[in-house]
A and B are shown apart, each in its own frame.
Chain A
Amino acid sequence: AQSVTQPDIHITVSEGASLELRCNYSYGATPYLFWYVQSPGQGLQLLLKYFSGDTLVQGIKGFEAEFKRSQSSFNLRKPSVHWSDAAEYFCAVGHYSGGYQKVTFGTGTKLQVIP
């Protein structure tokens, strides 16, 4: 079975500071990895995804993530956060089986941005 761990429930950063959100996954083969963002009262929006190839992936809104197989990690980073980045971030792992994507989400990290 696949699983995702996001060890940080809440993170507070100052506007303009760098950000790293941690994600560790468990899956036997090479997984598909995703980061989604959820603003309050809204649905989930895909920030970026990794399927194969370059282990450093670029996403929308200036986010990037690095797949490290040896550490089973897929941490999300941004060099300089903006107040509008305050939201909840979900890491997810998926695999394709039986004709569809099976996606498992972590419990999320809530990001607070202070002036």
Chain B
Amino acid sequence: NAGVMQNPRHLVRRRGQEARLRCSPMKGHSHVYWYRQLPEEGLKFMVYLQKENIIDESGMPKERFSAEFPKEGPSILRIQQVVRGDSAAYFCASSPSGGERTGELFFGEGSRLTVL
């Protein structure tokens, strides 16, 4: 019974390149959350998605960042034209589908992006 799977675990990009981070939620979960953890800071909410829908993207930077959760396949967080300030750990979490009002979030091990 696999947990939340994120890949790659580590990603190095040069400024101006694109970064794609993938997240496969736990089996049976259809809610996906992305959080960003900057050095010496806590986790900051970025976006919440359900299959084929972005529900809440209030924490996403307005430019260069996008997320999707297609009907088939993993959720993807995409960062275009990366800058050094994008260096962080990006965590994906999932929760069970609707009706679970008190469920916890189940976290992946994170993808650590380093921008040179």
Contact = CB atoms under 8 A, between A and B. Distances in A.
Contact of A101 (B43, B44, B103): B103
B108 A43 contact: yes
Contacts, number: 55
B109 interface: yes
A107 interface: yes
A49 B109 contact: no
Contacts of A100: 31, 48, 55-56, 95
B53 to A, nearest CB: 11
A interface SS class: strand
Interface size class for chain A? 20 to 34
Interface string B77-114: 00000000000000101010010011111111110000
B42 A107 contact: yes
Contact of B45 (A43, A98, A103): A103
A108 B42 contact: yes
Interface string A36-57: 1000011111100101000000
Interface in A79-104: 90, 96, 98-104
Nearest to A6: B42
A103 B59 CA distance: 12
B41 interface: yes
Interface of A: 6, 32, 34, 36, 41-46, 49, 51, 90, 96, 98-108
